[in-house]
Structure 1
């Protein structure tokens, strides 16, 4: 009996040992499997980080970026990765526009706004709103193809957008009036129109700049008075070396896309928009249809439109260089009321 008990007991102990061993093997396999998954995930994450850093390095080379130390490099890389993630998510959804990497991709939203945009464009009192009741605007027009638009310029890290919008519309009006196309001086407007309420890099108004040009009997060329992207003293000698002049200016009726289209059918038109949003900061191509507000803070220039497209759009010249947007241009949907980005709210144009 005792021998049978020990034999049976030993058999049970052997079974338990075998069971424990098998369980141990399965546990080990499970642990190794988990470690393999973790390792695989870590390798995947490292691969993503390496790809993003390589993209960041390409960005640095493409836009000649320079950072002071490792801390700034790490911070800019983090901001770049956040913008890159936003771009990927935005572009994965159904949109009429595409976002992409440009010279602003290492700036967060607050930095971009503080550097490139004034706090707001001054609200205007409408002067001689024009009635276009007799004009039949064509389905589309592009003043670039007619020779009335100078190459895209770059305002740099200065809130001088209003001066670029002003020179752009005067350049177009001067050319359409029968003169040669000439690039006009934004720096003159920045340095010399303070008495008219403009504040250089701190912002200004296209209408007030028109008033200065009229009082000064004209404006000089970019070549005579080059842009410096910073405030300076008025060079009175060069400011009287006139390259173009205007006799007056007119405001287009606010919030009237029909009147705005009729105005653009006759010449490029200065406008204000709200541009302190990611759809402007990271814009690459396509038509902006929403997500930009109506708090006007940026002066730009409408140089044409296509009312036959779907959606119909304005062709807008910006002053952030040719590496932004579609070689410096953006398309904004033609719509009623204030318009997308407030584009219908404060249009105006000079009269030669």
Structure 2
């Protein structure tokens, strides 16, 4: 796409440049066309354009540091570039993550996954290569990340067990999980979603229960159309246990998203902006692999680097975000190993 190619050149063009040395109106027009943006009034559009310009400045300042070897990842313009971080958080992150009591987060599941000290794990793993990870989806402007994370883990468990692909319904969980305390577009928790599937007796396909991206208290689950059920689930926490679990399957995890992650484009993500506390968790994703990468050391001297471990993270913000919908995030960053879950499914 011409727009995306142009954006790759923007950091060099804007470095040290006066605001008038580039045409923000032209870039704004490209942005609106690429992401099909419309606004209800001229005043709203001016407001959004000012936010876009501010975000563009943040992106280019960061990428200038990346070019100098001071950052391990790059940022880019995406569909969120006309939103402040507060707006982005309210629309795309899971509110219940912020409001749920700390103690209830870590009560654990029926199974507590513990690493076997004698097991030998590879340096690199990517479950996409085995065909058990479904295509990246788009949750839209709804804090339903918890349902997408849950469904992704269920789909992978099904594909690993049967060898067949399936696409399950996030809306099924959103509409039917209120009894377990999940709140639709206002957030939820993956273990509670597994409990919903167990209570219902299964989960339907996306074709039979399509995604609407909005709240409904009308549960339309039909047992005869269920694809699979949940027999049990496991809780995972800590780096060693998480790596052992990801070596086994796709793991649904909670993480903290900061304003840098909103603009992530590629590379190995790390951020000093993350609080790295359980109470700061605000998003649900999936870990579908891990690896090692050489990244620059944050120093004023060029050429210094170090090898780090990273997670391969599957998001639900469409394939226009990040590395075609994925991210690599350094281990120990943004609470990524605090808590995760994976299901033990049963066929119906």
Which string of whole-angstrom CA distances, capped at 9 and with x for unpartnered residues, describes residues 34-89 of structure 1?
Answer: xxxxxxxxx965443xx221111100000000012211111111100100001111
Which string of whole-angstrom CA distances, capped at 9 and with x for unpartnered residues, describes residues 306-340 of structure 1?
Answer: 14663221011101111111111111102xxxx21
Q: Once the 2 structures are TM-superposed, how far is the Cα of residue 180 of structure 1 from its aligned partner?
A: 1.2
Residue 297 of structure 2 corresponds to which residue in structure 1?
none
User: Could you tell me how far apart the structure 2 residues matched to 1:162 and 1:315 are?
Assistant: 18
Do structure 1's residue 287 and structure 2's residue 268 form an aligned pair? yes
Q: Once the 2 structures are TM-superposed, how far is the Cα of residue 250 of structure 1 from its aligned partner?
A: 0.5
Contact 1:139–1:308, Cα closer than 8 Å, also in 2:
no
Q: Once the 2 structures are TM-superposed, how far is the Cα of residue 217 of structure 1 from its aligned partner?
A: 2.1
Quick check: which one's helix share is greater?
1
Indicate how the Cα distance of structure 1 residues 164 and 327 shifts in structure 2: closer, same or farther if over 3 A, else same. Answer: same
Aligned CA-pair RMSD: 1.7
User: TM-score w.r.t. structure 2 length?
Assistant: 0.83
Residue 82 of structure 2 corresponds to which residue in structure 1?
106
Q: Residue 349 of structure 1 is aligned with which of 334, 342, 345?
A: 342
Contact 1:225–1:238, Cα closer than 8 Å, also in 2:
no
Indicate how the Cα distance of structure 1 residues 44 and 265 shifts in structure 2: closer, same or farther if over 3 A, else same. Answer: closer
Contact 2:96–2:186, Cα closer than 8 Å, also in 1:
no
Residue 114 of structure 2 corresponds to which residue in structure 1?
131
Residue 304 of structure 1 corresponds to which residue in structure 2?
289
Residue 265 of structure 1 corresponds to which residue in structure 2?
247
Q: Residue 215 of structure 2 is aligned with which of 231, 238, 245?
A: 231
Q: Which runs of 5+ in 1 are unaligned?
A: 1-42
Quick check: which one's strand share is greater?
2
When structure 1 is superposed on structure 2, of 230-239 and 58-67 the one drifting more is 230-239
Query: Following TM superposition, where does structure 1 have runs of at least 4 consecutive aligned residues deviating by more than 6 angstroms?
Result: none
> Secondary structure in 2 aligned to 1:177?
helix
User: Could you tell me how far apart the structure 1 residues matched to 2:228 and 2:163 are?
Assistant: 9
Contact 2:203–2:221, Cα closer than 8 Å, also in 1:
no
Contact 2:201–2:223, Cα closer than 8 Å, also in 1:
no
Do structure 1's residue 164 and structure 2's residue 148 form an aligned pair? yes
> Secondary structure in 2 aligned to 1:351?
strand
Q: Once the 2 structures are TM-superposed, how far is the Cα of residue 240 of structure 1 from its aligned partner?
A: 4.7
User: TM-score w.r.t. structure 1 length?
Assistant: 0.82
Indicate how the Cα distance of structure 1 residues 55 and 269 shifts in structure 2: closer, same or farther if over 3 A, else same. Answer: same
Q: Once the 2 structures are TM-superposed, how far is the Cα of residue 223 of structure 1 from its aligned partner?
A: 0.7
Indicate how the Cα distance of structure 1 residues 239 and 333 shifts in structure 2: closer, same or farther if over 3 A, else same. Answer: farther
Do structure 1's residue 118 and structure 2's residue 75 form an aligned pair? no
Which of the pair has more CA radius of gyration?
1
Do structure 1's residue 321 and structure 2's residue 318 form an aligned pair? yes
Indicate how the Cα distance of structure 1 residues 45 and 88 shifts in structure 2: closer, same or farther if over 3 A, else same. Answer: closer
Indicate how the Cα distance of structure 1 residues 177 and 308 shifts in structure 2: closer, same or farther if over 3 A, else same. Answer: farther
Q: Residue 86 of structure 1 is aligned with which of 49, 58, 82?
A: 58
Contact 1:136–1:262, Cα closer than 8 Å, also in 2:
no
Count of aligned residue pairs for this structure pair: 301
> Secondary structure in 2 aligned to 1:341?
coil
> Secondary structure in 2 aligned to 1:342?
coil
Q: Residue 161 of structure 2 is aligned with which of 154, 174, 177?
A: 177
Do structure 1's residue 333 and structure 2's residue 330 form an aligned pair? yes
> Secondary structure in 1 aligned to 2:229?
coil
Q: Which runs of 5+ in 2 are unaligned?
A: 1-16, 295-306
